[in-house]
């Protein structure tokens, strides 16, 4: 059994969003996306896979399709498969987000 203390895995990079692998298999990708102020995850989509964002620390602007929403610590966002989504840390503080991507097993 693997267990993780997410706070110990959070890491940042000065030049771009940092990605930290937490766990992965053929059925799951779990990681951390860590943003310094001003850093961006460009809009993209996952074919055949849903995504969850869970904000561990900080706040930022999350886009899903044409909709934008500010999320902060403790909030969870679901992104359906094939829908463009992205993140902007437009705050003055750091933003750490747990991400989970898994294939759509119902379609």
Which CATH number does the domain housing residue 40 bear? 2.60.120.10
Which tokens belong to 16?
């771009």
Structural domain count, the chain: 1
The confidence score (pLDDT) of residue 103 equals 73
Average pLDDT over residues 28-33: 95
Strand order in the sheet with 49-57: 18-25, 28-35, 95-103, 49-57, 76-79
Tell me if 2 is assigned to some domain.
Answer: no
The confidence score (pLDDT) of residue 55 equals 98
Taking the C-alpha atoms of residue 15 and residue 82, their distance in angstroms, rounded to an integer, is: 28
Tell me if 1 is assigned to some domain.
Answer: no
Tell me if 72 is assigned to some domain.
Answer: yes
Which tokens belong to 67?
């909709």
**Mean pLDDT for all residues in the chain:** 94
Which of helix, strand or coil describes residue 26? coil
Tell me if 5 is assigned to some domain.
Answer: no
The reported pTM is: 0.92
Answer whether residue 1 shows pLDDT above 60: yes
What's the domain range around 55? 14-103
């Amino acid at each position: 059994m693997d267990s993780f203390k997410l706070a110990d895995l959070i890491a940042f990079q000065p030049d771009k969003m940092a990605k930290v692998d937490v766990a992965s298999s053929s059925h799951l990708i779990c990681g951390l996306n860590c943003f310094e102020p001003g850093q961006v995850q460009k809009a993209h989509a996952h074919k055949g896979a849903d995504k969850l964002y869970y904000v561990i620390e900080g706040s930022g602007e999350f886009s899903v399709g044409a909709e934008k929403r500010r999320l902060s610590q403790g909030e969870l966002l679901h992104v359906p498969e094939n829908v463009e989504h992205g993140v902007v840390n437009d705050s003055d503080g750091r933003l750490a987000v747990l991400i989970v991507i898994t294939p759509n097993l119902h379609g």
